[in-house]
Chains A and B, each alone.
Chain A
Amino acid sequence: MSMLSDVRETMRRDEVWSFMAPPPSLDLDVSHGPILYLEELNVSFDGFKAINDLTLYIDAGELRCIIGPNGAGKTTMMDIITGKTQPDSGKAFFGQRIDLLKLSEPQIATAGIGRKFQKPTVFEFHRVIDNLELAMRADKGVWPTLFAKLSSDQQDYLDETLDLIGLKEQRNAMAGSLSHGQKQWLEIGMLLVQQPHLLLVDEPVAGMTHQEMDRTAELLVSLAGKHSVVVVEHDMDFVRSIARKVTVLHQGSVLAEGSMDDVQNDQRVIDVYLGG
């Protein structure tokens, strides 16, 4: 860019300098219904279009399942929502006012979007209870963290959560020593104590037994209503057991949307995914 246009950009008269503008609002406004607006998003990696003109709305309090074959762009979509990846074009809003594309990952987390990763990542060198403590909703600045002390209310809250995720016995165990399924549960617990408005859950039941799966389904269903939940999952039985509304992604855009039955009977879906 030439110097002249740089100067013009800096000296624009229709807006104040960015460093003088008030910090972006983090107040969630869902008065129009949707909690998450993704509009005409595009992302490409080295020419490969991972997300292609994706438009998707999630309503407040909804439990939405997202399915799609490998490479359909599910994880990339989550990366955009949580600030890990910047799209080439498009819009992503959390509620009416919060522009996700202008926020960093920690700001997005603070605004109320929690994410569970596909591969369970817990802090292996910390005890289970410490993992929850770190994730818990609190002022996460440097100084408050240095002087942070657990109040007895918070202590009780963490213990309740431990109960809920069935890791009471492992309270003081190192997170690294947990089984795969237990790590999944711990990560769900870490998600819960952040008290997010929107939960993004990537493959929650991978590596779980059927029993554990049923309990996870129960938990996710119970969360919907108070929170909005987006679940990405491959396991069709699991999706059927929890889903009210399913979105099918294919090659980076929405292929079909509707109830599980509608989607399963959609010819395009059968062609690319279910039938294949």
Chain B
Amino acid sequence: MGVFRVLKDDRGGQLLLLFLTAVAIVIPLLNLLVPEGSPFHVTTYTVSLFGKYLTYALLAVAVDLVWGYLGILSLGHAAFFALGGYVMGMYLMRQIGDRGVYGDPVLPDFMVFLNWKELPWFWQGLDMFWFAAIMIALVPGLLAFVFGWLAFRSRVTGVYLSIITQALTYALMLAFFRNEMGFGGNNGLTDFKEILGFSLQSDATKVGLFVASAVALALGYLACRWIVTSKLGRVTVAIRDAEDRTRFIGYRVEYFKLWVFTFSAILAGIAGALYVPQVGIINPGEFSPLNSIELVIWVAIGGRYTLYGAVIGALLVNYAKTVLTGVWPDAWLFALGAMFVLVTLFLPKGIAGIFRRKPA
């Protein structure tokens, strides 16, 4: 079976899938079946919190695919995440129907507030889930494709590429902040009611979203793993280490970069789409350059070039963030910086580097 082949020689990946299967079974049980008073009960808040971590982990895997295996340090990957999130947010807005504050059957509240009379063209069709699902992959994918086409064909690499990815997400942030863009401006999209007819307030829906995130992470991990164990994966590592050499043995380096980058952006978009219904809001802050940088730090701390390291990093750092910002909010950025410095100094291969056996 394919699944066994791609996970052969990948202890971390095997453990990760076991872990995901376990949490996808145990946490829903502890939430839905164990009574609320019991010490084993997991609150719905925690379920959504963990669900959010899992979407972050999927995003981190997408970043590791392009950074660890292709050598592209993208400092704008949160943009693809946010775009996927916005598409999902638009779908959820359309599901509100006439239950909004202004009670307009079609227009979301913020459009009524802005005195708009009809739905802009890019909001059309997003009331249908299947169409939204396609757009969740298509919008980030298309942006990555066009961006990558221009950047890779002109052979922009290294730090210059990182800077323009950063500029990309910053530009998107500024654009989405504007009210006339039609994405809710500063406030973003929120106040969602239901997804696919299930109320977003109910425990069962939240558990469902959690399980969907776990499944998406598992599938995303397997897909990335499949890519990196194929010959294409070996070509991408070759590009990372000796780009010119790869060109001289006949590979069109820019096409390889383009496809892997686009795939990674689609994964990020899917992660964003799962993130939004669990946190209940999407706003332009998600495009903030800081988010993309933090994301790179998760991967560095977890250990790049392993894929599962990215998951460890995302889960660990975000858990630490939740705890620390609760206890001592001002210290979080210092703690993040300290973690990054310490890992770079003492664990250059990240946390995953501790477990990894030395190559033969």
- Which A residues contact B (CB, under 8 angstroms)? 82, 84, 104-106, 109-110, 114-115, 117, 121-126, 130, 133-135, 140-142, 145-148, 172-174, 190, 194
Q: A123-B234, A146-B231, A148-B232 are in contact. List 12 more A-B contacts (CB 8 A).
A: A106-B248, A110-B250, A123-B238, A123-B245, A134-B231, A140-B251, A140-B252, A145-B230, A145-B235, A145-B256, A190-B249, A194-B250
Question: Which residue in B235, B238, B248, B259 is a CB contact (below 8 Å) of A82?
Answer: B248
**CB-contact partner of A123 in B237, B247, B250, B255, under 8 A:** B237
- Bound complex: CA of A78 vs CA of B237, how far in Å? 26
Residues in A neighbouring B227, C-beta threshold 8 A: 146
Bound Cα distance from A130 to B236, whole angstroms: 13
Interface contact A145-B249, CB-CB below 8 Å: no
Q: Is B234 a contact of A133 with CB atoms below 8 Å?
A: yes
- Tell me, in angstroms, the Cα distance from A190 to B249 when the chains sit together: 8
Q: Is the CB of B255 within 8 A of A130?
A: no
Nearest CB on B from A155, distance (A): 13
Is there contact, CB below 8 Å, between B230 and A147?
Answer: yes
* B235 surroundings in chain A (CB, below 8 A): 134, 145
Q: Which of B238, B245, B246, B255 contacts A142 (CB 8 A)?
A: B255
Please give, as numbers and ranges, the residues of chain A lying within 8 Å of B238 by CB-CB distance. 123, 126, 134
Q: Which of A84, A125, A142 contacts B237 (CB 8 A)?
A: A125
Residues of B within 8 A of A115 (CB): 248
- By the criterion CB–CB under 8 Å, are A125 and B241 in contact? yes
Q: Which residues of B contact A122 (CB under 8 A)?
A: 242, 245
Q: How far is the CA of A50 from the CA of B339 in the complex (A)?
A: 50
Given contacts A106-B247, A134-B249, A148-B230, contact A123 B242 (CB under 8 A): yes
Nearest CB of A to B243, in Å: 10
A180 to chain B, nearest CB (A): 16
Q: Chain B: which residue is nearest A112 at the CB level?
A: B250
A194: chain B residues within 8 A (beta carbon)? 249-250
Question: Is A142 touching B241 in the complex (CB atoms < 8 A)?
Answer: no
A contact residues around B253 at 8 Å (CB) = 106
**One of A84, A109, A114, A172 near B360 (C-beta < 8 A):** A172
| Assembly CA distance A142 to B250 (angstroms) | 12
Closest B residue by C-beta to A187: B245
Q: Cα distance A141–B250 when bound, in Å?
A: 9
**12 A-B residue pairs with CB within 8 Å:** A105-B244, A106-B248, A109-B247, A109-B250, A114-B248, A121-B242, A126-B234, A134-B231, A140-B250, A141-B252, A142-B256, A174-B359
B residues less than 8 Å from A172 (CB atoms): 360
Specify which chain B residues have a CB less than 8 angstroms from the CB of A106 in the assembled complex.
247-248, 250-253
* CB pair A109 B248 closer than 8 Å: yes
Cα(A84)–Cα(B247), bound, Å: 10
> In the complex, which residues of chain A have a beta carbon less than 8 angstroms from the beta carbon of B237?
123, 125-126
User: Bound state CA distance, A114 and B250, in angstroms?
Assistant: 9
Q: What distance in Å separates the Cβ of B20 from its nearest Cβ neighbour in chain A?
A: 25
Q: How close is B103's CB to chain A, nearest CB, in angstroms?
A: 51
Distance in Å: Cβ of A184 to nearest Cβ of chain B: 14
Of residues 208 through 227 on chain B, the ones whose CB sits less than 8 Å from some CB of chain A are 227
Query: B255 contacts A141, CB within 8 Å?
Result: yes
A104: chain B residues within 8 A (beta carbon): 247, 252
**Closest CB pairs A-B (n = 10):** A109-B250, A148-B231, A146-B232, A105-B247, A145-B232, A123-B238, A121-B245, A135-B249, A140-B250, A106-B252
Within the assembled complex, what's the spacing in Å between the Cα atoms of A212 and B230? 34
The CA-CA distance from A106 to B247 in the complex, in Å, is: 5
What's the Cα separation between A37 and B252 when bound, in Å?
A: 25
- Residues of B contacting A142 in the complex (Cβ-Cβ under 8 angstroms): 232, 252, 255-256, 259
Residues from chain B with a CB closer than 8 A to the CB of A147 are 230
Point out which of B232, B234, B235 has the most chain A C-beta atoms below 10 A from its C-beta: B234
Residues in chain A near residue B360, CB distance under 8 A: 172-174
In the complex, per-residue mask of B141-171: 1 if CB is within 8 Å of any chain A CB, else 0: 0000000000000000000000000000000
